[in-house]
């Protein structure tokens, strides 16, 4: 697996959770106003999921080589679910995004 594939997978996960959380919050808040007031708690949980995916995107998506946060680097204006292909390396350590992810050491 390349670094670009790993970053794309992490970004896609955060985007899907964020979109599902926002959509779920809107749905449950609407249903809470018309069907059952207790559904507001499910809406709050969905909003918290959307917020936590934003925090995940900001703090957890890092370069596997140097550990720098790649929040602004992986934002693509044309494809919201994938890392941009015109960025070829980490701006901090210059490792290529097409390089293989280094294997983790087992204890």
Q: Is 91 inside any structural domain?
A: yes
% of the chain exceeding 90 in pLDDT: 34
- For residue 28, is pLDDT > 90? yes
Contact between 22 and 50 under an 8 Å Cβ cutoff? The reply is yes
In a domain, 107, yes or no: no
Predicted confidence band at 86 (pLDDT cuts at 50, 70, 90)?
confident
Tally of domains in the chain: 1
User: Is the confidence at residue 54, as pLDDT, over 80?
Assistant: yes
Distance between CA atoms of residues 16 and 28, nearest Å: 18
Residue 39 lies in a domain: yes
The answer to whether position 93 is within a domain reads yes
Mean pLDDT, residues 19-29 taken together: 95
Whether 3 is in a domain gets the answer yes
pLDDT-derived band at 107 (thresholds 50, 70, 90) equals low
For 92, the domain range is: 1-102
């Amino acid at each position: 697996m390349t670094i670009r594939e790993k970053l794309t997978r992490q970004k896609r996960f955060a985007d899907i959770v964020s979109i599902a959380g926002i959509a779920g919050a809107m749905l449950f808040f609407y249903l809470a106003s018309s069907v059952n007031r207790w559904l507001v708690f499910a809406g709050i949980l969905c909003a918290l999921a959307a917020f936590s995916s934003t925090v995940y995107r900001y703090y957890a998506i890092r370069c596997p080589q140097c550990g720098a946060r790649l929040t602004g680097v992986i934002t693509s204006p044309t494809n919201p679910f994938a890392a941009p292909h015109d960025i070829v390396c980490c701006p901090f350590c210059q490792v290529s995004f097409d390089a293989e992810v280094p294997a983790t050491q087992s204890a």
